[in-house]
Amino acid sequence: MTAPLIDPFARAITYLRVSVTDRCDFRCVYCMSENMTFLPKKELLTLEELDRMCSTFIGLGVEKLRITGGEPLVRKGIMTFFQAMTRHLESGALRELTLTTNGSQLEKFADDLYAAGVRRVNISLDTLDEAKFADITRWGRLPQVLRGIDAAQRAGLRVKINAVALKGFNEDELPAITRWCAERDMDLTWIEVMPMGDIGNENRLGQYWSLDDVREAYAKDYTVTDLAERTGGPARYVRLEETGQKIGFITPLTHNFCESCNRVRLTCTGELFMCLGQEDNADLRAPLRENPDTEAPLRDAIRAAISRKPKGHDFDYSRQRTDGQMSRHMSHTGG
């Protein structure tokens, strides 16, 4: 009953990413349209159901839990969920509890997150220019995010900056963002824009900036050394020898990263996506809600889903088309 989760390609599934809400206080142009229709709240897993769901996964060998959204910290009462997960950290069953955030609420919650056992946070930040930040997030304000980063570091949280590489938008900021992260002792990862959901009039092909080009840009100013480090995830790492910085590249479009994938994604409505770049999913909400007194049907449903985990994804920007574009929004699946 507690045997580890092993997929058809002999990969152990030890990492669960959980979207706790599809709502966000930003409207980033590459992520969602400005006038979003969000899910009815009754469709979302309650905080208690999220606890049951995550606890069941932990009982099946999941050791790392990343909380995502939407913006996870805008969900009402979300700190009670983080506090509930603390018991799994204390028991040793869960090795890491972390989150990905836009940073807007960190000034308020950083200390509470640290108290709950969170030690690392990923903060999405694509520009250090206040006007450009307002443009790309539509509703966001850069000073608020910077105060959140300050609060996170004061609280003892290790911060990693995730920046989406956007042609014609932040190409010229590569040196400034890199120096800023070095000065603040923050890791930096660049991410290729992903084809997820309808974003209105925005053109993803126009936004797409290959990370091969990003690496070439670094090589003009730094000695770039490939690192063998692997986390089971999509990132590949280099070191900038002049600063000692570790820079990550998440390249779902120009390089396949699936051979060591150890993760699955749970949406805020209880759908399990075995691959970010595939539409196949499993409904875990039904066995959870229909069996309030036993976790056995939920465990069975999880194992059945893992048995369908594909070898790789379908993202492709070749031939100037967004082949494999996912119809769902990233905010639904979880960033």
**Can you say which residues are annotated as belonging to the binding site for GTP?**
17, 66, 100, 160, 263-265
Token pair of 85 as six digits = 């997960």
Between helix 47-59 and helix 78-91 the angle, nearest 10°, is 20
Residue numbers belonging to the annotated binding site: 17, 24, 28, 30-31, 66, 70, 100, 124, 160, 194, 258, 261, 263-265, 275
Give dist(CA 110, CA 195) in Å, integer: 31
| DSSP per-residue string spanning 56-122 | HHHHTT--EEEEESS-GGGSTTHHHHHHHHHHHHHHTS-SEEEEEE-STTHHHHHHHHHHTT--EEE
Residue with tokens 């959901």, as numbered in its chain: 197
Q: Are 19 and 70 in contact (CB under 8 A)?
A: yes
How many other C-beta atoms lie within 10 A of the C-beta of residue 260? 12
Annotated binding residues for S-adenosyl-L-methionine, as ranges?
30, 70, 124, 194
Helix axes 106-115, 142-155, angle to 10 degrees: 20
Question: DSSP assignment, residue 212?
Answer: H
Are 98 and 72 in contact by the 8 Å Cβ rule? The answer is no
Instruction: Answer whether the bond into residue 70 is a cis peptide, omega within 30°.
Output: yes
Burial 187-206 (b: 16+ CB within 10 A, else e): bbbbbbbbbbbebeeeebee
CA distances from 228 to 37, 161, 181, 246, 248 (A): 43, 21, 22, 12, 12
Residue 265 contacts residue 19 (beta carbons within 8 Å): yes
Annotated binding site for [4Fe-4S] cluster: 24, 28, 31, 258, 261, 275
User: Tokens 């990370």, residue?
Assistant: 211
Query: Side chain identity at 58, as an amino acid letter?
Result: I
- Give the CA diameter of the chain: 61
